[in-house]
C-alpha cells in the first residue's frame, strides 16, 4: 500500500492538566534574540565557562569508573559536603544521610517538594512576582495557589507580611519564599524571617525556601537562609543549585535540605520522579567543594558585574531598581515608553538588539508595571556591547 493510500488515523485528544500554560517567556525571548542577533540578557545563564578544574574533576570521575547509578538520595560524599557547607555558613547541622537529597536541578527539587506535601484542596501561598515553575507545579499537585504581590517602593520590592498573614486559611499547607529573589533581585532580612515565623508559629504550615542564588548577595549583606532560623528550619524544605553557584546551569544538579520526616516524604516522590542524578558530576562537585573559595568569592565576582552594568545605565532613561542579590537587574522603562512590558521587551530585542524579560511574566494576572529584567551574568564584553546599545534608547 502506498503512502498516499494510508489510512488517516486521528490522534486522540487529551484533557490538558495545564490548559493555561504555553511556551515559557524565557524560550520565546531567547529565540527572538537569536533571530534578531540581539545580546541576550534575558534568560538567566552565564555566557562564560566554569572553572576548568571542575571539568577535570568530572573527567577524572568518569575515568575512574564512577558511571553507574548512585544512591537514590545522592552520592554520600556530596551529601556530606553539602551538610558541612550549610553548617559552616548558617550554623544548622543537617544529617547528611537522612536530611540531604541531591536533585536534578532546583526546578525538580521544587516540583518534588510541592508534590510530596500538597494535595487536592490544599492552598499554597506564593509571593509574586514568582519564578514561572511555581504555579504549574502547584496546579499539577492539585493545589491552589494563593498569590500575594510584593510592593514596589523607593526601597525596591518588599514583602507585605501583613497580607501574607491575611492570606493564611485553614487550607494553607505551604508558603513559598525565594531569597535572593528572582526576578526582582531583592533579599530577605532578619525582620522578614521573623515576620514569617510569627505567621507560621503554632500551625502545621510547611515552608519551601528557594535559595538558589544564596551566594549572590551584595554590599556586605549576608544571605538570610532559613537554615539560620531553627524555628523555620524545623518546617522547611530548603532548595539550592550548583548550576547557579558554579556557572554550570546545564548540568541541572541541586539539592534539598529538610528535617528527616520531611526528607522521607520528599524521597518517596523523588525516587519515582528522577530516581537519581548524574553520578560523575556529583563526585566532581563534591571534590570541588573541598575548597570553599569559589562560592565565598561569588558575591565579589558578581557585584563587580552588577556595578559595571548599573554604572553603564546611569545616564540612560532607564530607572534602576535596587539589586541586592541574584544576577538580575530590574529597570523601570516608563520614562521611555508606555508600551506593555511584553511589547517593550520585544521592541528592545528587535530594534535595539538587547533581549530582556518582562516582569509581568512572573505574575499570575500578568501585572504590568513597566518593569523589565536584565541578566548581568555575562562576560564584560557582552555587557559592554549591550550597554552601548541601551545608551541609544
Map out the domains of the chain as residue ranges.
Answer: 23-44+296-390, 52-290
More confident residue, 168 or 20: 168
The top-level CATH class assigned to 23-44+296-390 is alpha beta
For residue 3, pLDDT over 70 is answered with no
What integer best gives the mean pLDDT of the chain? 96
* Residue carrying C-alpha cell 488515523: 9
Q: Which of 152-161, 170-179, 300-309, 323-332 has the lowest mean pLDDT?
A: 152-161
Give the mean pLDDT of 17-40: 90
Q: How confident is the model at residue 1 (pLDDT cuts 50, 70, 90)?
A: very low
Q: How confident is the model at residue 22 (pLDDT cuts 50, 70, 90)?
A: confident
The top-level CATH class assigned to 52-290 is alpha beta
Q: How confident is the model at residue 72 (pLDDT cuts 50, 70, 90)?
A: very high
The pLDDT value given to residue 4: 65
* Residue-wise pLDDT tens digits, 57-67: 999 999 999 99
The pLDDT value given to residue 195: 98
The pLDDT value given to residue 93: 98
The pLDDT value given to residue 20: 84
For residue 56, pLDDT over 60 is answered with yes
Give the mean pLDDT of 99-110: 98
CB 309 within 8 A of CB 329: yes
Q: How confident is the model at residue 27 (pLDDT cuts 50, 70, 90)?
A: confident
pTM metric for this prediction: 0.95
The pLDDT value given to residue 21: 84
Q: How confident is the model at residue 23 (pLDDT cuts 50, 70, 90)?
A: confident
The pLDDT value given to residue 2: 53
* Residue-wise pLDDT tens digits, 319-377: 999 999 999 999 999 999 999 999 999 999 999 999 999 999 999 999 999 999 999 99
Give the mean pLDDT of 241-254: 97
Amino acid at each position: 500500500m502506498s503512502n498516499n493510500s494510508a489510512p488517516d488515523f486521528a490522534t486522540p485528544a487529551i484533557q490538558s492538566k495545564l490548559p493555561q500554560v504555553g511556551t515559557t517567556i524565557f524560550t520565546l525571548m531567547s529565540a527572538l534574540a537569536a533571530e534578531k542577533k540581539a545580546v541576550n540578557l534575558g534568560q538567566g545563564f552565564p555566557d562564560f565557562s566554569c572553572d576548568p578544574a571542575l571539568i577535570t574533576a568530572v573527567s577524572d570521575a568518569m575515568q575512574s569508573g564512577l558511571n553507574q547509578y548512585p544512591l537514590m538520595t545522592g552520592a554520600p560524599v556530596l551529601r556530606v559536603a553539602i551538610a558541612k557547607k550549610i553548617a559552616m555558613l548558617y550554623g544548622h547541622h543537617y544529617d547528611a544521610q537522612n536530611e540531604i537529597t541531591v536533585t536534578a536541578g532546583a526546578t525538580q527539587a521544587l516540583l518534588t517538594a510541592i508534590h510530596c506535601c500538597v494535595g487536592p484542596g490544599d492552598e499554597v501561598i506564593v509571593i509574586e512576582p514568582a519564578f514561572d515553575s511555581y504555579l504549574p507545579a502547584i496546579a499539577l499537585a492539585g493545589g491552589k495557589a494563593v498569590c500575594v504581590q510584593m510592593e514596589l517602593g523607593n526601597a525596591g520590592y518588599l514583602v507585605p507580611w501583613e497580607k501574607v498573614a491575611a492570606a493564611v486559611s485553614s487550607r494553607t499547607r505551604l508558603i513559598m519564599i525565594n531569597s535572593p529573589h528572582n526576578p526582582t533581585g531583592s533579599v530577605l532580612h532578619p525582620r522578614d524571617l521573623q515576620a514569617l515565623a510569627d505567621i507560621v508559629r503554632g500551625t502545621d504550615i510547611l515552608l519551601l525556601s528557594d535559595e538558589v542564588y544564596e551566594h549572590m548577595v551584595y554590599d556586605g549583606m549576608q544571605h538570610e537562609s532559613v537554615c539560620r532560623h531553627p524555628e523555620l528550619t524545623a518546617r522547611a524544605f530548603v532548595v539550592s543549585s550548583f548550576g547557579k553557584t558554579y556557572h554550570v546551569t546545564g548540568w541541572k544538579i541541586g539539592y534539598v535540605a529538610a528535617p528527616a520526616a520531611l526528607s522521607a516524604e520528599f524521597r518517596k516522590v523523588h525516587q519515582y520522579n528522577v530516581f537519581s542524578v548524574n553520578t560523575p558530576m556529583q563526585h566532581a562537585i563534591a571534590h570541588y567543594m573541598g575548597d570553599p573559595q569559589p562560592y565565598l568569592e561569588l558575591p565579589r565576582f558578581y557585584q563587580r558585574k552588577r556595578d559595571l552594568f548599573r554604572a553603564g545605565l546611569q545616564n540612560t532613561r532607564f530607572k534602576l531598581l535596587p539589586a541586592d542579590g541574584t544576577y538580575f537587574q530590574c529597570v523601570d522603562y516608563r520614562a521611555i515608553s508606555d508600551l506593555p512590558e511584553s511589547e517593550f521587551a520585544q521592541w528592545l530585542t528587535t530594534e535595539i538588539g538587547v533581549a530582556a524579560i518582562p516582569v509581568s511574566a512572573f505574575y499570575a494576572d500578568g501585572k504590568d508595571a513597566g518593569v523589565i529584567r536584565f541578566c548581568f551574568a555575562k562576560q564584560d564584553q557582552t555587557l559592554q556591547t549591550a550597554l552601548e546599545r541601551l545608551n541609544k534608547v
